[in-house]
Amino acid sequence: MSVPVPFLPPVLAMVDEMLTTKKIPALCGDEMETLCSHLFALRDRDQRITIAEIAYLNHDDPQSLNIFLASTLPMAQRMAERKAERVFTHPTDWQLEAMYNGAVSNLLNMFEVHRTIQPFVPNAFRRYLMMTIIHGAMNPFRVRDEHWHIQGVEDVTKFDRIRGRYANPAERELITRDLLEQVTTFPHLMEEQARVLKTIAVLGPEKALRHTNHYQQGGDKTHHKHIRRRRSILNLVGIADAMGVKKQKVKNLLKDSRRILRHVFNRDGRLFAS
């Protein structure tokens, strides 16, 4: 009497074929969707890692990436959540999302780079997979992006904007004159505010600015540590005398003018959007 062959649902038959042959079977769109849904909800972690390894080794198969992600993304989510709870105790939604995104990015990079798995290392793929997820989950909190998109150059002496924003005096003077004309004729200023700015422009830097080092309390000016950090300060008394008003009024008008002009500054450092 023959022993009846146990019946397996189609999705389990696909999984059994993969585990037996170590290959990805030829599947149609509906079958692949059913298989990925099953792998995404699979509770057996060892079987999940085994199937992910099969997909990784069959990198050239067009369905390998779908199977690899369906097997590894749930692991990445759970590992990112546990890592976040250890690092932050009470992690926020943003921290959980950032750590999960980092883990997913590392998994995609792992599959794309497709490094060779060393056969003599015990559980080589499992170790590689776990470290990829853990490192990816912590990347958003280890990588500093303040120099993002900044490219290095071989010879920095070829660039004339190393010291200061505009190292060329002629270029700096031209830009200053252009900005000064736009500021003094800005249409959204009141008459008195525009008058203050025009008075400063007429007085020029020699009379409109204070040239003494007000940070220095005494000693040799050439060796004082604040001499290099002097700022150009408006001479409010001189401006008020030229306008025939009190110093406090000039101060209030300048404060309102700064508030209006600050809204038209661009992020790239230019003054006006036009």
Number of Cβ within 10 Å of residue 189's Cβ equals 19
User: How far lies 146's CA from each of 101, 102, 114, 163, 269, in Å?
Assistant: 20, 18, 30, 20, 18
Residue 172: its pLDDT value, please? Answer: 73
Contact of 59 with 65, CB cutoff 8 Å: no
Q: How many Å from the N-terminal Cα to the C-terminal Cα in the chain?
A: 92
79: left (phi over 0), alpha (psi -120 to 50) or beta: alpha
Residue 269: its pLDDT value, please? Answer: 46
Q: Which of 106, 114, 11, 137 is nearest to 64 (CA)?
A: 114
198, amino acid identity: K
* pLDDT tens, per residue, the chain with 274 residues: 444 545 567 888 888 888 999 998 888 888 888 888 998 988 888 999 999 999 999 999 888 999 999 999 999 999 999 998 888 888 888 888 889 999 999 999 999 999 888 888 888 999 999 999 999 988 866 665 555 566 666 665 555 454 455 456 777 777 777 777 877 888 878 888 888 888 888 888 788 887 655 444 444 444 444 444 556 688 888 888 888 888 888 888 888 888 777 766 554 444 544 4
List, in sequence order, every residue forming a beta bridge with 210; answer none if it has no partner.
Answer: 233
Residue 51: its pLDDT value, please? Answer: 92
Contact of 109 with 52, CB cutoff 8 Å: no
Residue 194: its pLDDT value, please? Answer: 86
d(CA 254, CA 40): 64
Number of Cβ within 10 Å of residue 68's Cβ equals 24
pTM for this prediction: 0.50
